[in-house]
Amino acid sequence: MAKINTRINEMLGIEHPIIQGGMQWVGKAEMAAAVSNAGGLGIITSLTQPTPEDLGKEIDRCREMTDKPFGVNLTILPTITPPPYEEYLRVAIEKGIKIVETAGANPAQLVPGLKAAGVTVIHKCTSVRHAISAQNKGVDILSIDGFECAGHPGEDDIPGLILLPAAADKLEIPFVASGGFADGRGLAAALSLGAEGINMGTRFVATEEAPVHQNVKQAIVDRSELDTNLILRTLNNTARVAKNAVSDEVVEKLNQGAQFPEIRDLVAGKRGAQVYETGDLDAGIWSAGPVQGIINDIPSCQELLDRIVADAVEIIEGRLAGFVAK
Ligand code: NAD
């Protein structure tokens, strides 16, 4: 079977250049192991674990489920209770993690320690200027996150169709495309736009192995590209989340001029975690991108990655090649 092979495969030691997004409350050992076993790069999300010690145990658990490479994500954004970020990274390094994805803030402070520990650093960001800055600071791979993404898209609102080639024009190190990717069409498009792979979040939530309630997976399948909300816009900390009673209320309150303390209890991550655990889709804020409009099933990670790669190859060798007149 033909494969897609880029610098990303080589640098990360993976079969397919497909990375699982560092999703809060979803990026647990089961998710990361399933993606890595399927030939992609699974990612454990640090802050889903209550303490750095728990992250260490989660890394151990993941190692019991896969002998393939997997990484750890550390996202630094405004939080209700600031976590000990450097402690999380210290534990990840001690546990022998060799791939770390940083996101949310400038990684300059973190890169020297990670590189000294022999870690390959992926930095996810939402603008070309931040990508150049991270490249100059010594990160190895960028994950360029267009406005289509779930979670935090930044404040520039530049979609991937423009952001990815704009990044390609300026970057020397390889990058994966993030935000709005779910299938082989997306992978082929990302490669066309200058990326060397894709990062997917919402698509991996709707898989058999994702450690979330079935209602969440089914909602992603059932809902359309219209069923999301942008919250926290007025606070300069925009997040793309699933449309529900809570995110509607947050948007309404912020539009009326509310400040963070007035919506804090609505947006609290601990409340959102209940959605994934209990399947009550209105229990709190949960993340989903508009890409759910093209997600129509709940496959295993292996089925998903095999299909994405086979479809991308077919598009490149068949459909696209068929348009070339000689
Ligand atoms: P949390 O409970 O601390 O905060 C909930 C939400 O409110 C988050 O979006 C957070 O950024 C935002 N927030 C917190 N304090 C704020 C302030 N003073 N002003 C404006 N916004 C504020 O967060 P959590 O759900 O426990 O998540 C932990 C970390 O993971 C946070 O940094 C969060 O942003 C991040 N996260 C990232 C993604 C992603 O896109 N990868 C998705 C969910 C959460």
82-122, pLDDT tens digit by residue?
A: 999 999 999 999 999 999 999 999 999 999 999 999 999 99
Confidence bin at 210 (pLDDT 50/70/90): very high
- Residue of 73, 76, 80 to test ligand 1 pocket, by largest number of atoms within 8 Å of CB: 80
Confidence bin at 304 (pLDDT 50/70/90): very high
Ligand 1 centroid, distance to 294 Cα (angstroms): 26
DSSP string over 75-110: E----SS---HHHHHHHHHHTT--EEEEESS--TTT
Residue 251 included in any domain: no
Q: What's the pTM? A: 0.97
Residue 236 included in any domain: no
How do residues 153-201 score in pLDDT, each as one tens digit?
999 999 999 999 999 999 999 999 999 999 999 999 999 999 999 999 9
Confidence bin at 6 (pLDDT 50/70/90): very high
Q: Which two tokens stand for residue 59?
A: 């890394």
Residue 249 included in any domain: no
Ligand 1 centroid, distance to 79 Cα (angstroms): 5
Residue 227 included in any domain: no
Residue 278 included in any domain: no
Confidence bin at 52 (pLDDT 50/70/90): very high
What's the confidence (pLDDT) of residue 209?
A: 98
What's the confidence (pLDDT) of residue 1?
A: 83
Helix residue ranges, H only, 120-210: 128-137, 160-170, 184-192, 202-205
- Ligand 1 atom closest to Cα of residue 23: 41
Average pLDDT over residues 264-291: 98
Residue 313 included in any domain: no
What's the confidence (pLDDT) of residue 307?
A: 98
Average pLDDT over residues 296-309: 98
Buried b (16+ CB within 10 A) or exposed e, 230-258: bbbebeebbbbbbbbebbeebbebbeeeb
How do residues 135-150 score in pLDDT, each as one tens digit?
999 999 999 999 999 9
For residue 162, what is the domain's CATH number?
A: 3.20.20.70
Question: Residue 85: which domain range?
Answer: 7-210
Closest CA to 19 of 301, 255, 238: 301
Whose C-alpha lies nearest to ligand 1, atom 40? 151
What's the confidence (pLDDT) of residue 301?
A: 99
Instruction: List, chain by chain if needed, residues with CB within 6 Å of any ligand 1 atom.
Output: 22, 24, 47, 75, 77-80, 151-152, 232, 235, 237, 239, 260, 267-269, 272, 287
Domains in the chain, number: 1
Average pLDDT over residues 232-246: 98
Query: With pLDDT > 90 as the criterion, what percentage of the chain qualifies?
Result: 99
